[in-house]
Amino acid sequence: MKQVHRIGIIGGSGLYELEGFTSQRWVKVTTPFGSPSDSLLTGELTGREVVFLPRHGRGHRILPGELNHRANIWAMKRLCVAWIVSVSAVGSLQAQYKPCDIVLPNQFVDRTKKASEHTFFGKGIVGHVSLADPFCKDLAAKLANAATQEGAKVHARGTYLCMEGPQFSTRAESHLYRGWGAAVIGMTNIQEAKLAREAEICFATLALATDYDCWNEAVGNVEIEQVLKVLQQNVELAQRTIRRVVTALSDARSCGCESSLKDAIITERTRIPKNVRANLKPIIGKYL
């Protein structure tokens, strides 16, 4: 029987549900890494099987630093997700990325501090995936095309600076990151991208610019009320873009993401602990 490849949507701040999502069923997934942010909503969108996860839980209950990214991505893999579109609110670090613009990042700078929680490896198994190009170029290109067709101002490249939060940047940090050439700043995406690459899932970010962080003193400091107001304007655009990209995805993948673990596991197979083999079966099973 042919395996159905589903499309995963991780909804960030402001995107807690999908319009036009039919045959809905909330599925509770138990993982070796603890509980995901919430149950996962399965169903159909424009005739394709989709899995939706509210990143911060329904009701927005989970801080960025509290997110269990391993459980979230493991659950997506367990439900046969082959693509993940990560919808995220971001602050702009450069004048050309204006609030309400859409950014499709192509690079990351990692300023987080929980590296051991952002990998499926460890505890008896060692693997090193390539993260030179952390986003799936094919999926990102389709997202850029879909957003453009929906009338968005789209930036198809840019570096996403990932910080931990939950506080926003100091002004000194904001200017530092601008000097590094980063385009946008957020708190959640590099963790997802790293784990998606290890899980051989195509991953791309639909970044919704909401503010200018705090470097642009002419428009004032970033305030959550302002962020939420701009997010409300962006949510409908994000919904339309998602529907269009879901329709555009073919069943087959030709990007190489589905074989990113091919030469990455360097531990001698006979020395991988049985419990680790069992826990990571959805991730590494085909290589054992």
H/E segment holding residue 195: helix 189-198
CATH of domain 6-121+130-252: 3.40.50.1580
59 CB-contact burial (10 Å; exposed 0-12 / middle 13-18 / buried 19+):
exposed
Q: What angle do CA 230, 118, 61 make, to 5 degrees?
A: 45
State residue 3's pLDDT score: 61
State residue 135's pLDDT score: 98
Does the pTM of the predicted model rise above 0.85?
Answer: yes
Q: Which of 214, 174, 183, 198 is nearest to 88 (CA)?
A: 183
State residue 1's pLDDT score: 37
Average pLDDT for residues 89-107, to the nearest whole number?
Answer: 95
**Which residues, including other chains, have CB under 8 Å from residue 11's CB and lie 6 or more apart?**
17, 18, 52, 53, 54, 55, 87
Distance CA 121, CA 123 (A): 7
**Whether the predicted pLDDT of 108 surpasses 70:** yes
* 235 confidence band (pLDDT: 50, 70, 90): confident
Two structure tokens written together for 220: 């004032």
213 is catalytic: yes
Q: What do you get for the CA distance between the two ends of the chain, in Å? A: 21
What are the tens digits of pLDDT across the range 180-232? 999 999 999 999 999 999 999 999 999 999 889 999 988 766 666 676 677 77
What are the tens digits of pLDDT across the range 55-94? 999 998 999 999 999 999 999 999 999 999 999 989 999 9
> Rg for the chain (alpha carbons), in Å?
18
Domain ranges of the chain: 6-121+130-252
What are the tens digits of pLDDT across the range 116-153? 899 999 999 999 999 999 999 999 999 999 999 999 99
Q: Strand pairing of 184-186 and 81-92?
A: antiparallel
101 is catalytic: no
Q: Which of 138, 213, 251, 263 does the annotation list as catalytic?
A: 213
State residue 276's pLDDT score: 97
